[in-house]
Structure 1
Amino acid sequence: MNRLDAREAITRAHHAEWARVVASLTRRFGDLDIAEEAAAEAFAKAVERWPADGVPPNPGAWLTTTANHSAIDRIRREHKRTDKHREAMMLTDDTPPEPLGAIDDDRLRLIFTCCHPALAMEARIALTLRMVGGLTVPEIARGFLVQESAMARRITRAKGKIAAAGIPYRVPAAKDLPARVTGVLAVLYLVFNEGYLATGSDADPVRADLTAEAIRLTRLIRALLPDDGEVAGLLALMLLIEGRRPARVSAQGELVALGDQDRELWNTALIDEGHRLVRERLASGIAPGRYQLLAAVNAVHTDARDADDTDWGQVVALYDQLVRQDPSPIVALNRAIAVAEVDGPDAALPIIDRLDGALHGYHAFHASRAELLRRLGRRDEALAAYDLAIALAGNSAERAHLSRRRDELA
């Protein structure tokens, strides 16, 4: 196992420790590159030693200590002729820790720090997902629907801009949080999505560690910014989706579509909490933002006793509002799926076909198109669309579901 594979393996098992180690090293050495590489060294050593020696009683402390030594070794190599005194000070650093400021959670502090307004929004999100979220470049690229090489360049450019502009990695003050919260919410939403339905073929279809952490951090942000409607909307959205997780994958490891899920398996406590948040936002009388509208869509789905009771007209109306705020191909695709339930597949298919250029590499586009072609009786075209969706699907549960649907048609 090479060093990158080793680090990825350990970060999956000890996801929370990864963020704490990077946060600790970034504060101490003031250099995110050093922090990231030293953390990678520590995780690689853990993979080499822990299988033989056993996992230490405090894995986080072991990783932090090992990473600190790796960082110091790197600084020593790079500054061999100078900084001897500085190295010694770092080894026996008695400097009291800096105050936590508005945020007292290591991972959330680092997310807010990385989401610096001097960086373009997409660069902030990509860099934070890589540095803090523990996602791989391929996972981030799939979330943005771009090539891995393009995403790698985007992250590298963001690091370069930070270095060139001398952007400090420090805890933002309370007054700075609202200016950064949009990027932070986008990061947490993408982390949640990766956990809810993983994009990697070698990952578990559902990663509860990621969804739980995204929800935990969003709750912390809501405590910091209780009047922010989009924070409440994102939390509601996550809760309503997470509440359906127990019914999403069958015992045979196949993805179960929303309409086929056993609703008795849903987590009603999470869903009820999500509904309360949605009602709160509606009662505020303030025009809803993107996450609030998405939460409202999911509230409609989870309010129905079964799939046949779903108020698809209301879903289309909510997507009509959402598409004015976020005219992205993904939103247009989801709206078209709802249109098919209201006006029929013949009305929705032309809408979906117009998205081919933007979404040709996205498996859900081909899967949605295959379902509509199936309903229209266009068997050969549906089979071809299923084949494309299966080839592009990211995980085993989706491939199993799509393969079964295709085989039934064939």
Structure 2
Amino acid sequence: MSTMTVDEVVVAPVQRGFWTRDRKVGLGLALFGVLATVLFGALATGEQARFTLSEDAGGAALEINGTLGAVVFGLVSAAAGVALLSGAAAGWFRLLLAVGVLGFVFSFLCWQVSAAPAGQNFMPMVNIVRNTFLLALPLIFGSLAGVLCERSGVVNVAIEGQLLMGAFAGALFGTLSGSLWVGLFAAALGGAFISLLLAVFTIRYLVDQVVMGIVLNLLAVGLTGFIYERLMQPDAPTYNQPPHASTWSIPLLSDIPVIGPALFEGNFFLYLALILVLVVQFGLFRTRWGLRTRAVGEHPTAADTLGVQVLRVRYRNVLLAGVVAGIGGASYTLALYSFSKNMIGGKGFIALAALIFGRWSPTGALLASLFFGFADQLGTYLSAINSVIPGEFLAMLPYLATMLAVAGLVGKVRAPAADGKPYIKG
């Protein structure tokens, strides 16, 4: 007689009745697809919607009649929803979901681009993709920090504070030393400082992890804001003009249309973020460290009985997460801007959303971060062409995505079993 393990009982999705997850999502996609077909198709103009492969209106472009594009892509979205709703597409959930979402987005874009004023009815894909990665950078670092913590069983709500402290330390010490690398090292230590407090109070003293994370965020805002107002703002040339990372172009690869300028003409932080995603992905699922980390995050008692030092693993990974998030904060002040008060502006919480949306996976967190970065960039683009859609509405997309992820509509979302649970060695 066949048996089922405890893990299989916990992980296996249980779906009863007609309205499974696939059918619910399929119904939603079908309705949105019909809405896009009718509404966007009616609002679009007969002008060409041009998606240029260069940074301006000239050069090669993908063109489609605005009305036709809005209708066709809307029908694609609806068809993906119908396929899921029928129940005949078992095993194709993620692909059909992606097709449905992209169909809806492109239907919307065909309307917006074709309806733009003359001379602005084009979408520069190079700029869109490049700025998507740029806006996603702190989210990638922050969500990786979340993966390292939560795979070890520690909830990391302090990503906001780690990013902010990294940005502050990078700007201050980078300016004082005149060295990008000194600033980068200081940023890593700044993020690690917040992580050290998180580790000591939650692992050693068993303080509630969520509450401690919020307290540390407030500490970072208050401490950096105070020093900024008293020191950095009055004398910016001495304390707040850090060196910025230069752009590195990789020969041949940077000539690839659209993707080349975005991925292979970037600064140090872009390349480091992508490398870290690969390293953490490989480490978590292909090394002894990753096996022990996941064991501690799922069943620390069982890991302890096999000789794994549970508390040591948690301390080490939480500190490592702070280093990663601190470097992510430095991607602001050592690549783009000078430091300003509370400059992270909630990106740490968006990174936490990316962690959930990406299902506690480094590659999933990367894709979710890029989605949120695209939403931000899309709002900027639509504002530039004087769209009738308020940019504030598009700013809600990351939060809507979070709601979908938490509700389980984008797949079975299950945090590590021991996430947020303190471990007391028996």
State if a TM-score over 0.5 links the two structures.
no
TM-score, scaled relative to structure 1: 0.28
TM-score, scaled relative to structure 2: 0.27
Which structure is higher in helix share?
Answer: 1
The structure showing larger relative contact order (alpha-carbon pairs under 8 Å, at least 6 residues apart) is 2
